[in-house]
Structures are given as structure tokens and as C-alpha cells.
Structure 1
Amino acid sequence: MLPINKTMQKTIICCLMLLLVQINVKAQTGQPTWWFGISGAANGNFFDGTTQKLNNSLLVPTAFHKGDGVRPFGSILVEYRPGSIWGGALNLGYDGRGGKFKDVVAPCNCPATLKTNTSYLTIEPSLRFSPGGGNFYLFAGPRVGLNLQKDFNYTQLKQANTDAEFSEMRKTLISGQVGMGYDIQMSSKTSTTKFVISPFVSYHPYFGQDVRNIESWSMTTVRAGIALKLGKGKKAIEKEETVPAVIPVADVNFAVRAPKAILVKRMVTETLPLLNYVFFDEGSAQVPSRYITLSKDQATGFKEEQLQQESAENSAGRSARQLAVYYNVINIIGDRMRANPSSSITLSGASLKGPAEGRSFAVSIKKYLVETFGIQDTRIATNGRTKPLIPSEQPGGTKELTLLRSGDRRVDIQSSSPELMMEVGGDMMKPIQISATQSDPTDSHVIFTVEKANEVLKSYTIDLTDQNGTVQHFGPFTKGQESIPGKTILGSNATGDYKVVMLGTTKGGATIRKESNVHLDAQQELLETGMRYSILFNFNKANTIATYEQFLINVVTPLITDGSTVIIHGHTDIVGPEDYNYELSLKRAKEAQQIIETALTKAGKTNVKFETNGFGEATDRSPFENNRPEERFYNRTVIIDIAPAKQ
């Protein structure tokens, strides 16, 4: 069986191909004014937003965000056509809007699923417009949905299934739709009783389709179906010649980048910025167990230099090593304050439940530093707030609030002591240097770039044909950039030349074909040394680059020698639209490159290569997972690798 979204794509494409061939009909006085009938269709529902509190008795441990599903639609309909061009229609029927959210993993490492069975009594008046008075028509109008069903099924491994109803469901939804259809005349020219079969498609955007009074679950629906209509006329219709509708087709640019001949593994000395945040779990004022705490004896011998030892990083780029360093953040503060008796800090706790709980977070950290590291309590000030100094949740925001609020339940560590904090910006702890062996997974991939894919194409596929005529098929894809491991394409071969064909289907149903070529060789591995620097961004802030400009000019640029390669990767967390996050990450990375290039030119260094990419929220390339707030904060980053020239 085809996946739901693939089935929907094929159905819609077939309907569009039928609709885009327009047959002009000369309207006669005998054309029926009133039409009556029924319709049946499939709703392709696409979920977005956040769903976690299912009802008053069930708050699941991990939020669901995206999903899809196909549900039936059926209606009785009436159309009023006083002329051949303009008219109106009314549909009354059953509207299935259920589906299944994408599976998530609960903190117990238990897979969890959520299926919904929501439906509505729908009232859909619309204005009908038939260009030139032909059989092809467009329609648009409001939709009023009265909730009928609100059932769900939640399953979690190691736990009984839950079948229940959502709470806080909106009883009435007021939204809209636009669509098009084509009336196929089935009755004879001389018959006064007219019978029409009318395939149609319509689009229901997410506006007005927030399903519940709480959280941010919304849906977008694409509907494809057929209507059967009857009307009483007086005279026959006279059919004229078939005229194909002319629709301009937009174009895209297609490029292919081969993997590097040598896969470089770098022994990297990384300057890792330390978040000056400690995040707290809902319902507890105790420092979470994931943060490393020591006994008094252990604290006596603790030095932050112990965290700099070599550790290998896995090939997917997930860096448990960096998180292990960060989870020592309170111990690092204790060690630095112990070594610098004149330093002091302010702990500012924040909680939506109020300043009192926020201050209790701060007091927990202060108590640990005083009792374990022996820091004088007069050197540590505490306060409480409802929101942190730089909140993630913005005024008026309605999307993904659960993720944003978990990042705002924290303690900010503030200090004016340069022994503790970075001189640049003043709101980030002084970084720590660690060593690790790393490689960029994209160096071993063939990268396909389809510019304007999100604007022009519904989807596209990639076919690679080798010199023996063997074809490998990949896709369908929707993103502007996709990659395939070179080993997957080569298989057991040592080398290969491939013809690359990109076949795309536009949002209007047309086909775009682009060709290219790529040569692949089995990669060799090379171990070299390098340096890595990271820049962290506050939520949705691309201009943090300006804050780090002097750091990039005075610290990073002097370490770049002639002939070096500078690799710059931009990343974001999963909060926000995917397309927006891609553009944001690319903007951050390019701004960092521009600052470094300008500084290199002033220093007389011109023989430096740059490899700059933005990967947005792509989970297969992000440095960290996105399960916890600290992981999401560390994913808001630009990573700069300096690979010296080969000697």
C-alpha cells in the first residue's frame, strides 16, 4: 500500500490533469438554472502545531507536532446558475478531519502514537465562477464546521492504550476554501434532463482551523472527489472545439555536488561556548538529575580541565561529549568562583507560575555552590521572575508553546567577572576547550540542490543511471536540498559515472525535467588536525553575529592561515516553520563568513577557501537532538571549523 501522502499526491495530479483541459461550451437559454446532487471525496489532512494535553486527565510526556491522514467527505449539494459565468453553491455534509500524528519517543524511551478521529457537520456556501462560460469552473467561500466526533487513541509502549475524547474542542470552526472543478456532460444534447459528473479539488488552509481552545493544533486539508448533479433544462447545448488551457510553468535550477574524494576526519580542538542557563523540569524546584552534582570530597578535586580530554564523536554528529561538558556547568561555576575569590554571580530564576518558584530554582543552585564548593553566600545573589531575561515565548505567540515555555523555565547565571563570563556580549559563560575526533557526514554525500523547490514543486525524484544502463531511483523529495551517501550509490564499485535526472511535478501539475552528471570514487580517509568555534543564538535572533563580530575578528580570524579551508554550518532548533528555519540558518552562516572574509582581506590573507551551508532544523545534520531545551538551545548555532592547509 502506498503511504497516505503519496496516494494523495497521485490522486490530486490525476484530477488536475483532467481539470486543466478546458472544453468551451456555448450557453443556451435551456441550460438548467438549479442543480441538485451529491458528492463524495477524500480529505487529505495535514496536522501542524503542538498537542500534549489530550484531556483533563491525560497529559502525555512528549508533545506531538505533525501528522497527516485521509478521511471521507460526503455531502448533498445545490447549485444556482442564473448565467453561464457566475453562480453559487451550497454543500451540507459529513467532513472527516482525523489522522495520525507522527510517532514520538517518550522520556522512558517508549514509542508513542496518537490517532485522532475528529469529524464535523460542514456547511459550505461558495461563489462559482466559470471563465468564458465553459465547463471548467473555480469556486471559493467560507466553511462552517460543527464538531461531531472528538475521539482519539493514544498508545505508549509499556502502558495500556487510551481511547477517549479530546477536551477543549472548538464546537464551531469558521474557515475557508478555494478550489476548481470540471463538469463532464453525461446526458445527450437533446435531453432536457441534464446529468453531470464533476471531479473537483479544493484547498482548505489552516486559517481558522485551530482544532482546540488550548495548545496550537491546526490543520490544512486538500480535498479531491467527484460530484453527481442533475438539472432540468429546455434546450440542448452546442459543443465547440477543445481548447487546452494555457498555464505558465515556473522553472527551477538544479545542481549536483559530488562527495569529496578524501573523507577527512579531524582531530579537533573545540572552543565550546557554555550556556549560562540551567533548565528545570516542570513540577520540581530541584536541580534536574541530568546535571552532574558532586559530593564535597569530589568537588575538592574537581577542575574544569578534567573535561577537556579526548573523546570520539559518532558519525551522525550527535555530540553527547559537548552535552556532558555542559551538564557540569554548575561545577564549572563553582571551580571558577573558588579560583577567583573576588568574583560574584547573580542567579535569576524564571517560572510561568510566578517569581516565587523562579527564585526557588535559583536558591537550589546557590545552596549547592555554598554547601559543596564552599562559596560564600554573600557572593551569590538570587531573584525570581515570571519570564527570563531573554524569553523564547514572544507576546502574541500561539505556536509550539510547550517547547518554548520549557526553555523559559530556567535559571540565568549572570556576572560581570571576566574570569567567569565572555568579554563579548556578557551573557555567555567563558568557553571551555575540549578535544574530539570529528568528521562532517555531508563530505561523504552526493548533494542535490533544487532552487525554488518549495515555491514551484509539489515534489521531485532523482534517477541516477550508470555507464551500464542500471538506474537507481530516489525520492520523492520536497526540500530544496537533499543528499544521498556516495557509498549507497556506488555499492561495491570503486568508481562510477552517472547521468542524473531530476523529474519534478509542479504545484500546477506540470512536469519539469533537469539533467546533470556526476563522477564518484570510493573515498579514502585522512586524519588531520583542526580547530572549531561555535556561536550560539538566542531564540529567533540572527543578529547575534554582530555581538560576536569582535570575537570572530580578534580570536578566530588570526588562527586562519594561508591555504586553510573554513567550513561554516548554520543550524536551528525545531521551533518554527521548516522553510523559515532553513533561511535563518543560511543567513547566520553567511554573515559569519562575511565578517571573517573582510578581516582576512585586511590581514592580507586571500588564499582561503570557504564551504558555507545552512541546514535549518534538519534532524539528520543537527549537532544535537531536540528533546530537551538545552539541546534545542545548542542547536541554534553557527559552527566554524578551520582546517589548515596540507603541508
Structure 2
Amino acid sequence: MLSLNKIIQKTVGCCLILLFLQTTTSAQTTSPKWWFGAAAGANANFFDGTTQRLNNGLIVPSAFHKGKGIRPFGSVLVEYRPTPIWGGSLNIGYDGRGGKFDDVIAPCDCPATLATNVSYITIEPTLRVNPWGGNLYFFTGPRFAFNLQKDFDYTQLKQPNTSGELSEVRKSVISAQVGAGYDIDMSAPTSTSKFVVSPFVSFHPYFGQDVREIESWSMSTVRVGVALKFGKAKLIAKQETTSTPIPLAEVSFSVRAPKAVVMKRKVNETLPLLNYVFFDEGSTAIPSRYVMLSPSQAATFKQEDLQQEPAESMNIRSQRQLNVYYNVLNILGDRMRANPAVDITLSGASLAGAKEGNLFATEIKKYLVNVFNINENRIATNGRIKPINPSEQKGGKKELNLLREGDRRVDILSNSNALMMELGSGIMKPVYINTTQSNGTDGDVIFYVGKANEVLSSYMIDVTSPNGVTKQYGPFTKNEEHIAGNTILGNGTPGSYKVVMTGTTKMGNTIKKESTVDIVATQEQTENGTRYSILYNFNKANTIATYAKFLTEEVAPLISENSTVNIHGHTDIIGSETYNLELSKRRAQETQQILEAALAKAGKRNVKFETTGLGEAEDRSPFGNGKPEERFYNRTVVIDIKTAN
């Protein structure tokens, strides 16, 4: 049989389960104020104290102390619930409090037993509380009990069994209880005849439950049972309800286009050079995507060769930049050859262990020594489990495979200004390249759909040219979408374009908004521009402070009065789309603030900024996301400076 502690533990557990199960339902009837019914259950009684004198004619040789037993309980009840929170109830019924004491050994070395059959007529008024107004309720109150039975059965080995009535039994007992119950409505919501099944549990402590006027027999009880309750409810008059459609004004729509879509622009670009070389899983060899030269090719290599205009097949920005980056070891070799006093450290990192990380670094050292003839004493190597600035952070659980790909690498470290930018960010000095841009973000047509993510499940954009050709884009869900202007123009006619936004609300309704926008194009290759990019470590926006000196001293002086500066932030695909969009906006806005402060200090006026964050949008991101170096280059803010003609 369970101990008192276990009974209490299970009782508390049941209460917690009931608490978590609690729900409130919308009723179509009122809740009855008066309830009538019956309850039945079992009392788990636990005895303590001393019992030896059973009546005036029998004092047993050995005293009994502890015991327990299960006895029935039954009552009729009435409940009054004037509010959903407060109420009261009254139970009147039969209350069994008997049980069996633990066996003892009489002085004759004879086992002895004592069983009691004590019962009462019980009157139990209680206060009922529904703290959350739901099905779960708690109750507490006094118990007034009047003795009904007081029988006992005593046995002792080698003695005749003795049955009788206990003497000095209290005729009335006043004690208390506390408990919890859960009303389960078994009737239909529309029925006025309510029937509730209510399991309950209560605890009756030993206070006031001394059974007899003599000795110290006390009793604690845990009662478990179920009550059946009936009540009469009233129907709630039905109210006519109409769904109010979302006003069209809540979804705004506007379109912004550049003054002229530049079909092609020659760009002088300052490309930051990542000081990382990434290694493929399962291999310690330098990946084949990096450009590896023979000693004879290295003898004539100059990083200036990478500055030349690429072939037509490589006019996409990501291809152009990655081609430069994949020459990072050749650029490093060329710079070390031109600066013989410069030393470097190659720090390799691998989750497989520092030993494998050092193997990565050693492979790069061999290449520089054997191909570019760099003195091996100028190159130190070491191995680590994680790189100096890891992407995987402690406690991170999402997209670990992508983060770990970016941490399987060699960091190129040096204190020389001939190799590294004075930014404190570890980025190598940039490479200056000339390229032709055919699809810049400053040529985007931007569509603003206010509250789209709140009101609409999706929307489409139809753009109709002046000669009646319609192109459709979407579906979209964000408040702001960018479409390249030259994609819309194609070979079409410049002029006034009709734009129709057709959205489906989350309630299934259709919303249409119309606007017009003028889209014109410049002649090909008539504009020149200057571009700078700054890079970030994973999930960092505040590293913009690292670039403050660079932006103030290098970029701002190149911005003339009446120029236009287009700033757009990007992220990789790691993390949620919403978070990445906000992160890219924050990076772009902080870049603009630093440039504005520098321009104001220099007295330059009438500079127009067009700043936006594009997040992880892959159709507008500078690079793909298939390789770690692509994701690293996507963690960027790109600054395009267009000098006024």
C-alpha cells in the first residue's frame, strides 16, 4: 500500500495535470448557478499515535501505533456558483475512516492484529475557487463529522478473536480539508440541461481528527473520487455577427524607379580580399577551385593582371570577384615576393583536431615556398580546432553544417601594412579591378506593399509596358520587393508603365492596387562609377565601427557634391529570412551614417543616398551560397558612388 508521502506526491501531480489541461470553451448557454448531484470515492486513511485500551474490558498486551486502510465515501451535494470565479458547495454523506493497524507481537511472542471500522455522517461546506474561470477549481473548508460506527476486531495467536466497540470514541469531530477538481461538461453546448462529471482529490490533515477522548490515535486522509452534477442553464440569445472586411486603405502600394536604368556601367571596384582559404571536408589538399600556378607561371604573375576587364563570359559580378579571390594565394605570394621583410602566420582550423588544421596550413606553406620561392622561415604555421573568429558559436544548434564549412579553413595573419588593411578586421589589402556592371541594384524598381506581411498571404505584380506587353512577377510576401529595371525593360519601349498589385488576404479576399511608373534607360556604357565593399564576420553588424576610418578617410573623399550614393546590404542564407533582412538594413544604415558625418564635416552638400537592405534574397545577392567563400562575401555592404554628370 502506498505511503502518505507517495499519496501526496501523486495528488499534487494530478492537480498539475489538471492545471495544464484546463481550457475554456465558448458556450451557447449560460452556466447554471445551482448544481445538484452526488459524489462517491475512497478514503485512504493513515493512522498514527498509540492505541492499547480498546474498551473498558480489554487492554491488549502490546500497543498499536501506525496503520492504514481504504474505506468508502459517498454524499449528496449542492453547489452554488454566482460567478465563474467564486462559489460554494455542501456535501452530506457517509465517511468511512477505518483501517488496519500494523501487526505487533504480544509478550507471549504471539502475533496480534487490530482492524477498526470507524465511520461518520459528514457535513462538509467548502469554498470553491476557479482562479482562471475555466474547468479546474480548488476548494477548502471545514468538516463536521458525527460518529456512526466504532467497531473493532482484535486477534492474537493462541487467544480467541475479540470483536466489539471501541470506548471513549468522540461523538463529533471538527477538522478541515483542501482539494482540487475538474469539471468535464458531458452535455451539448446548446442544451439547457447540464451534466458534469467532476473527478476530485482532497487532503484531510490530522488536525482535529483525534478519534478518541483517550490515548493519541490520530488520522490523516487522502480522498479520491468523482462527483456527478446536474444544473439548469439558459440559452444565450444569438447575436448577428458580420465579418468586417479589411479596409483597402490598410494595404498601401507604391512604386519607385530610378531616374534612368543603366543598362551597362563601367565600374572601378575596390574589392576586399578575404584572408581565408577554405578546405573541403575529407581532404587536406588545397581545393581545385583555387588558382594554382606552376613556378614558371608564378615568376611572371602580377596581381595587376587581375585588374583587366574580363571577357564577356565573365561579366557577372560574382564570377569576376570570385576569380580574383581564388587567386588569393598567388596575390599573397606576389606581395611577399615584393616585400621580402614581411612574415606571415598560417593558422589552420579543423573540428577533426589541431593536427589536421596544421596540415591545411602546411599545404599552403609548401605552395608559397615551392612555387613563389618564399623563404620558409618567413612562414609560421599552427593548428586549432576552431579558427580565431569562428562562425559556430557556443550553444548554436541551427545550420551547423554550413557554419562548420566556414570554420574549416586557414587564416592568413600578418602585422604588415603591405599585406593587410589597417582596419583591425584581418582583411587583406584590397584588389582594384575594372569591370562592366549590367544589372546593378541601383537600377532596381522597388515595390512597396504596406502591411503585406500582416494582411496578405501573397501578392503578384503585373507590369504593362506602353505598347501593351504585360510581365508578371511573384508571388511575393514581403513589404518591399526589388526587380531589376533592365529585366522589366528588356527590349521594350521606355515610358510610363502600368503596375497592378493583386493580393490575397489571409481571410481569402482579393485586393487590387494600381500605380504607374516611368522607366527609361541610358545608352549602354555611358556611365562610370566607383564601388567599395566591406565584409562582416558571421552575424555581426557592429563591426561597421571597424571600417569607420576606412569609410571616413578613403571613401568619403571620393564623393563629390550632387553625387548619388547607393548603399545596399546583404547577408548569407544562414538564419531566418526576417532576421537577415533586418541585419542587412542595419548594416547599410550604419554605413550611411558614417559617410554622412564625414561629408558634413568636409562641407559637402546635396549628396543623395539610396540605402536599402536586401537580406538573403538570392536573386539580388552578389554571390551564390553553395561555397563558404560565397557566403562570406555575401555578408557585405556594397557602396556605389555615381558622380553627377
Distance verdict in 2 for CA 1:543–1:237, change over 3 Å:
same
Contact 1:589–1:613 (Cα < 8 Å) also in 2: yes
3-state SS, counterpart of residue 238 of structure 1: coil
**Aligned AA (2:273):** L
**Aligned AA (2:517):** H
Number of residue equivalences: 446
Deviation at 1:280, TM superposition (A): 0.5
Is 1:394 the counterpart of 2:424 in the alignment? Answer: no
Q: Which residue of 2 aligns with 1:425?
A: 424
3-state SS, counterpart of residue 237 of structure 2: strand
Q: Deviations over 1:64-88 (max 9, x none)?
A: xxxxxxxxxxxxxxxxxx99989xx
Distance verdict in 2 for CA 1:481–1:391, change over 3 Å:
same
Contact 1:312–1:438 (Cα < 8 Å) also in 2: no
Distance verdict in 2 for CA 1:360–1:344, change over 3 Å:
same
**Aligned AA (1:519):** V
Question: Which residue of 493, 502, 519 maps to 2:517?
Answer: 519
Structure 2: how far apart are the matches of 1:499 and 1:292? 47
**Aligned AA (2:237):** E
Deviation at 1:237, TM superposition (A): 6.7
Contact 1:566–1:610 (Cα < 8 Å) also in 2: yes
Distance verdict in 2 for CA 1:488–1:594, change over 3 Å:
closer
Deviation at 1:523, TM superposition (A): 3.2
TM-score, normalising length from structure 1? 0.61
Deviation at 1:244, TM superposition (A): 3.0
Question: Which residue of 457, 460, 463 maps to 1:459?
Answer: 457
Distance verdict in 2 for CA 1:254–1:416, change over 3 Å:
same
Distance verdict in 2 for CA 1:399–1:190, change over 3 Å:
closer
Q: Which has the larger radius of gyration?
A: 2
3-state SS, counterpart of residue 342 of structure 2: coil
Structure 2: how far apart are the matches of 1:263 and 1:326? 27
Structure 2: how far apart are the matches of 1:27 and 1:478? 44
Question: Which residue of 236, 241, 248 maps to 1:244?
Answer: 241
Q: Name the structure where strand makes up a greater proportion of residues.
A: 1
Distance verdict in 2 for CA 1:475–1:387, change over 3 Å:
same
Structure 2: gaps of 5 or more residues: 1-25, 38-79, 86-129, 136-184, 196-228
Contact 1:416–1:426 (Cα < 8 Å) also in 2: no
Is 1:609 the counterpart of 2:613 in the alignment? Answer: no
Structure 1: how far apart are the matches of 2:331 and 2:314? 28
Contact 1:273–1:431 (Cα < 8 Å) also in 2: yes
Structure 2: how far apart are the matches of 1:316 and 1:621? 16
Distance verdict in 2 for CA 1:555–1:445, change over 3 Å:
closer
Deviation at 1:578, TM superposition (A): 0.7
**Aligned AA (1:498):** K
**Aligned AA (2:455):** L
Contact 2:347–2:361 (Cα < 8 Å) also in 1: yes
**Aligned AA (2:521):** Q
Deviation at 1:484, TM superposition (A): 4.3
Q: Deviations over 1:426-461 (max 9, x none)?
A: 51111111110013444554321234544x235242
Distance verdict in 2 for CA 1:310–1:316, change over 3 Å:
closer
Structure 2: how far apart are the matches of 1:497 and 1:283? 54
Structure 1: how far apart are the matches of 2:456 and 2:543? 35
Distance verdict in 2 for CA 1:25–1:263, change over 3 Å:
farther
Is 1:581 the counterpart of 2:580 in the alignment? Answer: yes
Relative to structure 2, which stretch is displaced further, 409-418 or 442-451? 442-451
Deviation at 1:512, TM superposition (A): 9.1
Q: Which residue of 2 aligns with 1:273?
A: 272
Contact 1:317–1:624 (Cα < 8 Å) also in 2: no
Contact 1:459–1:505 (Cα < 8 Å) also in 2: yes
**Aligned AA (1:415):** S
Contact 2:497–2:519 (Cα < 8 Å) also in 1: no
Structure 2: how far apart are the matches of 1:504 and 1:85? 41
Contact 1:449–1:481 (Cα < 8 Å) also in 2: yes
Q: Deviations over 1:203-240 (max 9, x none)?
A: xxxxxxxxxxxxxxxxxxxxxxxxxxxxx999897351
Structure 2: how far apart are the matches of 1:337 and 1:565? 38
Contact 1:317–1:621 (Cα < 8 Å) also in 2: no
Structure 2: how far apart are the matches of 1:468 and 1:233? 76
Structure 2: how far apart are the matches of 1:344 and 1:187? 83
Q: Percent identity?
A: 56
3-state SS, counterpart of residue 358 of structure 2: helix
Structure 1: how far apart are the matches of 2:558 and 2:469? 47
3-state SS, counterpart of residue 416 of structure 1: coil
Q: Which residue of 1 aligns with 2:642?
A: 643
Q: Deviations over 1:41-62 (max 9, x none)?
A: xxxxxxxxxxxxxxxxxxxxxx
Q: Deviations over 1:233-255 (max 9, x none)?
A: 99897351224388997956543
Deviation at 1:477, TM superposition (A): 2.2
Distance verdict in 2 for CA 1:438–1:313, change over 3 Å:
farther
Relative to structure 2, which stretch is displaced further, 243-252 or 387-396? 243-252
Distance verdict in 2 for CA 1:540–1:247, change over 3 Å:
farther
> Aligned-residue CA RMSD in angstroms?
4.1
Contact 2:562–2:643 (Cα < 8 Å) also in 1: yes
Deviation at 1:28, TM superposition (A): 6.0
Deviation at 1:327, TM superposition (A): 0.6
Q: Deviations over 1:467-492 (max 9, x none)?
A: 99999875442122123456777795
3-state SS, counterpart of residue 240 of structure 1: coil
Structure 2: how far apart are the matches of 1:451 and 1:297? 61
Is 1:288 the counterpart of 2:287 in the alignment? Answer: yes
Q: Deviations over 1:500-557 (max 9, x none)?
A: 4564525xx4869584522334534342111111101011111221111111111111
Contact 1:562–1:606 (Cα < 8 Å) also in 2: yes
TM-score, normalising length from structure 2? 0.61
Q: Which residue of 2 aligns with 1:110?
A: none
3-state SS, counterpart of residue 367 of structure 1: helix
Deviation at 1:563, TM superposition (A): 2.0
Deviation at 1:498, TM superposition (A): 2.9
3-state SS, counterpart of residue 573 of structure 1: coil
**Aligned AA (1:330):** L
Contact 1:351–1:357 (Cα < 8 Å) also in 2: yes
Contact 2:456–2:505 (Cα < 8 Å) also in 1: yes
